[in-house]
Structure 1
Amino acid sequence: MSGFQQERDTLGIHLRELRRAAGLNGKELAALLGWPPSKVSKIEHGRQTPTEADLAAWAQAVGAPHAVEALTARLRALETHYVTWRRQLRAGTRPRQQASLDLEARSGIIRAMETAVVPGLLQTPEYAHHVLQAWVTLHRTPDDVPEGVRVRMQRQLVLYDLSKRFHFLICETVLRARVCPAAVLRGQIDRLIALTTLNNVALGIIPFGVELPFPVLHGFWVFDERVVLVETLGAEITVTDEDEIQLYLQAFDQAAGLAVYGERARALLSDTLVDLTD
């Protein structure tokens, strides 16, 4: 169970205890709040995240207005672990890129595995523009893509800090995914070839046809051994539980053992360029 889910379960248990202390069953509380009974059940069992307004209404209905502050604090702590992209990007793409820049500056060893797109630290401006534009369009958030691209390019200066180490894993599917026009993808692959020569950067490509030790469901980033970021279609999840971080590190190491590096990686990238058609 993830840290996010554990915290949501804990919040639900606390709300259920408040309801029971008030002598109410779930249906009675739902009637007081004007909610369907299923909403009360889902919140109490950790299957739905309440809003701050939900918490205030709940506390009032069970005669515990004094609990609102503590409940809201729990919710805000929960939301730091699971943040929707619509919320993350509500002020545009630039603030989220700035947050990445700050996190990368504080990290000594950065590992990243991507299954669908080139990692942001390795993207060309043109490729980054198409990726960020797609995200803005999907989530209907403010369009400041040029600013987001500018900060993403600024982030890449960290690659030349020799006090830091980077290990990137990319599935070969990433090299063929048409998230941009073919001409842009060619430029991106050329950029990856050049980056394989950096002494503090390990770039591994996981080829088609290898037998994977686990289903590769999504990409993830590990910063030192203290935090993992997981991007889903709808949200970004922050993992800080030590056992869960070790699981991601174990998965990363297993995948890294299947990747090709150096000359073999450059050969694979070059072959992809030859195969790439408009």
Structure 2
Amino acid sequence: MATSPSSSAQAARERVARRLRDLRADAGLTGSELAARCGWTHPKTSRLENARTPPTPDDIRRWCHACGADDQAEDIIAQSRDAESAYMEWRRQVRAGLKRLQDSYVDLYRATELFRIYSPTLVPGLLQTEGYARAVLSGVAKLYDVPNDADQAAAARMERSKIVHEPGHRFVMVVEESVLYYRLGDADAMAAQLGYLLTAGALPSVSLGIIPKTVQRTLWPQELFHVYDDQMVSVELMSARVRVTQPSEVALYLRAFDQLRGMAVYGAEARALIVKAIEALR
């Protein structure tokens, strides 16, 4: 059975509450003793431990200090923020139109210096051509049963993608070789997209790696994810986009990205794989 966004958010809140409860137990404190150290009432401790009330950053810092675990406070604060706001249902996001969704990323992109992108299914949005993007976005509109403004959304995506030519940003992208063969749009649109990858991969700010289908893998294919600097990961699921900011989880995605990047080929070897995919269109 699929998990709803609301139940997923509650499960995330419960993980934060359980972590706080474990800290108290490990410190050998009763609920009343912890409340006294934190300067609040015992019922508040109970509400926080049972996920009935979300903790504030100050609550978490007091709790960790009372348990002698100040070093865990920032990680738990980030986890709590994820629980409250990280799970963003796609249907809700696209309700106002696909173009508006594209525009919503602009500020984040401009604020990011280093992009790390792994995609097992699609050409990354920043390297998509307009015809390919239009096909992808039309599919999104159909899947989520929302008005199809794919033409305007694709144009907005092209405008947003100009950032790859602007100074102050670096883009490290890794895709699976199968991405080159998934036919989105007609043959002409796909040929134009693959042809652009030959050009885009040579841009000074772009590192494009392709993981060959025949490679001896050290890590299996993962979900599509973007890492913005070292601060936030955006994971794209079918039903939602999940934003991860908890430092320990961000570090896990960075380790996975390094493994995936290590399996990829670059330069002439990557171009050869793209040319092979272009030839397969004929």
Tell me if both proteins adopt one fold, taking TM over 0.5 as the criterion. Answer: yes
User: Take 1:179 and 1:162, find their aligned partners in 2: how far apart are those partners?
Assistant: 31
Match of residue 212, structure 1, among 207, 217, 225: 217
2:254 paired with 1:252: no
Residue 76 of structure 1: how far off its partner (Å): 9.5
Residue 253 of structure 1: how far off its partner (Å): 0.6
Residue 80 of structure 1: how far off its partner (Å): 2.2
Label 1:76 to 1:258 Cα distance change in 2 as closer, same or farther (>3 A): closer
User: Take 1:210 and 1:124, find their aligned partners in 2: how far apart are those partners?
Assistant: 28
User: Take 2:207 and 2:50, find their aligned partners in 1: how far apart are those partners?
Assistant: 43
User: Take 2:84 and 2:179, find their aligned partners in 1: how far apart are those partners?
Assistant: 30
2:173 paired with 1:168: yes
User: Take 1:134 and 1:229, find their aligned partners in 2: how far apart are those partners?
Assistant: 21
Alignment partner, residue 182 of structure 1:
187
Unpaired runs of at least 5, structure 1: 14-43, 47-74
Tell me which amino acid in the other structure corresponds to 1:157.
K
Label 1:242 to 1:154 Cα distance change in 2 as closer, same or farther (>3 A): same
User: Take 2:50 and 2:257, find their aligned partners in 1: how far apart are those partners?
Assistant: 32
Tell me which amino acid in the other structure corresponds to 2:141.
V
2:171 paired with 1:159: no
Label 1:11 to 1:262 Cα distance change in 2 as closer, same or farther (>3 A): closer
Tell me which amino acid in the other structure corresponds to 2:103.
Q
> SS at the partner of 1:90?
helix
Label 1:79 to 1:143 Cα distance change in 2 as closer, same or farther (>3 A): farther
For residues 1-278 of structure 1, the aligned pairs below 5 Å read 7-9=12-14, 78=83, 80-277=85-282
Write out per-residue CA displacement over residues 213-270 of structure 1, whole angstroms, 9 at most, x where no aligned residue. Answer: 2221311000000000000111100000101001111111111111111111111111
Residue 6 of structure 1: how far off its partner (Å): 6.1
Residue 94 of structure 1: how far off its partner (Å): 1.4
Residue 120 of structure 1: how far off its partner (Å): 0.5
Q: CA RMSD in A?
A: 2.4
Label 1:267 to 1:249 Cα distance change in 2 as closer, same or farther (>3 A): same
Q: TM-score, normalised by structure 2?
A: 0.72
Label 1:10 to 1:203 Cα distance change in 2 as closer, same or farther (>3 A): closer
Label 1:255 to 1:10 Cα distance change in 2 as closer, same or farther (>3 A): closer
Tell me which amino acid in the other structure corresponds to 1:267.
A
> SS at the partner of 1:157?
helix
Unpaired runs of at least 5, structure 2: 1-7, 19-48, 52-79
Q: How many corresponding residue pairs?
A: 217
Tell me which amino acid in the other structure corresponds to 2:234.
L
Write out per-residue CA displacement over residues 142-174 of structure 1, whole angstroms, 9 at most, x where no aligned residue. Answer: 222122111100111110112211001010000
2:82–2:243 Cα contact (<8 Å) kept:
no
Q: TM-score, normalised by structure 1?
A: 0.73
Tell me which amino acid in the other structure corresponds to 1:143.
N
Tell me which amino acid in the other structure corresponds to 1:205.
I
Label 1:76 to 1:123 Cα distance change in 2 as closer, same or farther (>3 A): same
Residue identity over aligned pairs, in percent, reads 36
Write out per-residue CA displacement over residues 182-226 of structure 1, whole angstroms, 9 at most, x where no aligned residue. Answer: 221111000000011111100001111112222213110000000
